[in-house]
Amino acid sequence: MVPAPLPSFNPDRFSLLRAFLRWSARRALRWFYRETAVVQMGMVPSTGPVLFIGNHPNDLPDVLLGLQACPRHVRYLATIAAGAGGAAGRGYDAMGVIPVTRVRDARKMRAMGVDMAAVNAEAGRRMAQAFAQGHVVGVFPQGGVHDAPQIGRLRTGVAMMALQALDNGSVFDVTVVPFGNQYEAPRTGGTDAMAVVGRGWSLRGWRDERLANGCEAGVSALTDQLRTSLLAVTRNAPDWESRTECDELVAAVAAVQPPATSASQAPLLERAARLVPLAEPLVANRRSDAATPHAGRVHTFVSELSHLVQEAGGVRTSARDHARVLQGAGVAAEARLTPLWALLLMTPAALIGWITHGPIFWVVWRLAHRFAKARADVVARAFVPGLQVVAAWYLLLTIAAVVTLVFSGAATWLTVVVLLLLLTQLPTAADVAVAWRDGWRGRALVWRVQRWPAARRTEIARVAEALRSEWRAGPG
């Protein structure tokens, strides 16, 4: 039997729906996280087939950060259960998603009459086609959301499909590029998130080298190599306590370093991401039976500083909040505060934004908590159907405004047009409101510390300097 022709997809062809989905993704990330930064430890090739692999600790935000991290369009492999039909299915088509099925969805797939083996075989064909057309294929090899303090065991399906694409002659080579989603506090609004792009490597070159050295180069070996690549760009710890300790260490050490002079858009967050590989073994050393004095001293200073950040109203794992506490104590740090004059100018627009969005944001967050089946689902449900709830709220506001004009006798074609034009600016008003909130929170954190007794501010400066010196001195 001849397989049916594969659907074509051109990421360079303009799609109104795809543009809208990307616009919505940027809104969702901005309304929830204070800053989302891309840290380039490696680069995505500008042309040619790319296997873009990422970790998956936080559901939908991971997908959106991956889109932000890649300068080219990413065609994700995604479970068909999430987009079997309707609006979600059209969104899948617009984004060029390659549908697959998972073992955990077997019962649901059977109920829907879906042949799982056929769907996954089709996914392999589509991936090979995407590589042949020089596309970027995004995959989360863990096979689903993995709410754990470290990268778990990867599924073998991704490695199998990638090797099949080489073996069937679809492409000569594929570049594998890992990206790590790193969150200061994944489910805490107003914190920062980073997508760390790692160094790419040649799939064919990897296999040829393994075979030349007499090593196995099949699905199992490639799966292990994919996991090793992900470990280099993610945060990992044996348990949540160690993970929290590592995150606090990264935040504190990043903040106490002198302000960077680089042209990086987010030097503080980039520094934090680069500290992770150094922080993880230090935390492991401190918690072992052979702990060194250096690890103990670093932990003492980090614990003191993190406690002060929390007491000031900040997040213990946030590098930005650490920097703002330091600035409040008179220590030079990359706090990145919004100018006071800008906040004052933003206040009228922010007030409109909060009046029109505050109630619905609260409703969305409550619904997300109410219907989330796991804690990793909370933010995803705040994004979708949260954005749909916001859109319905916009429609309700529009109807209410037009009805008010009609019953007040002020409804002319000009007033209605002006009103509709103003209503199209509601998302921008929400942007301003969120930026204003984050700006005032940062200012308030600095002002709060500045009002502390001088002796206490001096103590903060002392601990920061001690931590900086101890970190520079190292274990020797």
State the DSSP string of 235-287: ---SSHHHHHHHHHHHHHHHHHSPPP-S--SSHHHHHHHHHHHHHHHHHHHHT
Q: Are residues 440 and 462 in the same domain?
A: no
Q: Are residues 220 and 129 in the same domain?
A: yes
Q: What percent of the chain has pLDDT over 90?
A: 76
Alpha-carbon span 397 to 230, nearest angstrom: 45
Alpha-carbon span 406 to 399, nearest angstrom: 11
Of 410 and 393, the one with more pLDDT: 393
Element (DSSP H or E) covering residue 176: strand 175-183
Alpha-carbon span 443 to 339, nearest angstrom: 9
* Domain end marker among 197, 231, 265: 231
In a domain, residue 11? The reply is: no
In a domain, residue 298? The reply is: yes
Does the pLDDT at position 360 exceed 70?
yes
Running DSSP on this structure, what letter comes out for residue 412? -
pLDDT confidence bin for 385, thresholds 50/70/90 = very high
pTM across the whole model = 0.93
In a domain, residue 2? The reply is: no
In a domain, residue 23? The reply is: yes
Of 101 and 33, the one with more pLDDT: 33
Q: Are residues 152 and 21 in the same domain?
A: yes
CATH assignment at residue 118: 3.40.1130.10
Does the pLDDT at position 304 exceed 60?
yes
Q: Are residues 422 and 458 in the same domain?
A: no
One DSSP character per residue, 310-349 reads: HHTT--TT-HHHHHHHHHHTT------PPPHHHHHHHHHH
* Mean pLDDT (the chain, rounded): 91
Residues 181-237 pLDDT 10s: 999 999 999 999 999 999 999 999 999 999 999 999 999 999 999 999 999 999 999
Residue 29: closest CA among 18, 38, 17, 39: 38
Of 404 and 229, the one with more pLDDT: 229
Element (DSSP H or E) covering residue 136: strand 136-139
In a domain, residue 358? The reply is: yes
Running DSSP on this structure, what letter comes out for residue 184? S
Q: How many structural domains does the chain have?
A: 3
In a domain, residue 350? The reply is: yes
Q: Are residues 194 and 271 in the same domain?
A: no
Count CA atoms within 13 Å of residue 19 on its CB side: 5
* Domain end marker among 207, 231, 255: 231
Residue 393: closest CA among 444, 346, 433, 353: 353
Q: Are residues 360 and 247 in the same domain?
A: no
Task: Quickly tell me which residue has 């954005």 as its tokens.
Answer: 387
Q: Are residues 347 and 423 in the same domain?
A: yes
Q: Are residues 277 and 254 in the same domain?
A: yes
* Domain end marker among 182, 204, 231: 231
In a domain, residue 106? The reply is: yes
In a domain, residue 6? The reply is: no
Q: How many CB atoms lie within 10 A of CB 207?
A: 20
Q: Are residues 135 and 53 in the same domain?
A: yes
Give the chain's radius of gyration (CA, Å): 25
Q: Are strands 74-79 and 136-139 parallel, antiparallel or unpaired?
A: parallel
Are residues 183 and 195 in contact, defined by beta-carbon separation less than 8 angstroms?
Answer: no
Are residues 176 and 203 in contact, defined by beta-carbon separation less than 8 angstroms?
Answer: yes
Q: Write down the pLDDT at residue 422.
A: 79
Q: Are residues 196 and 64 in the same domain?
A: yes
Q: Are residues 412 and 296 in the same domain?
A: no
Q: Are residues 179 and 52 in the same domain?
A: yes
Residues with Cβ within 8 Å of 297's Cβ and at least 6 positions away in sequence, in order, are 470
What range does the domain containing 395 cover? 340-450
Q: Write down the pLDDT at residue 1.
A: 44
SS3 state of residue 148: coil
What sign has the CA pseudo-torsion 11, 17, 23, 25? negative
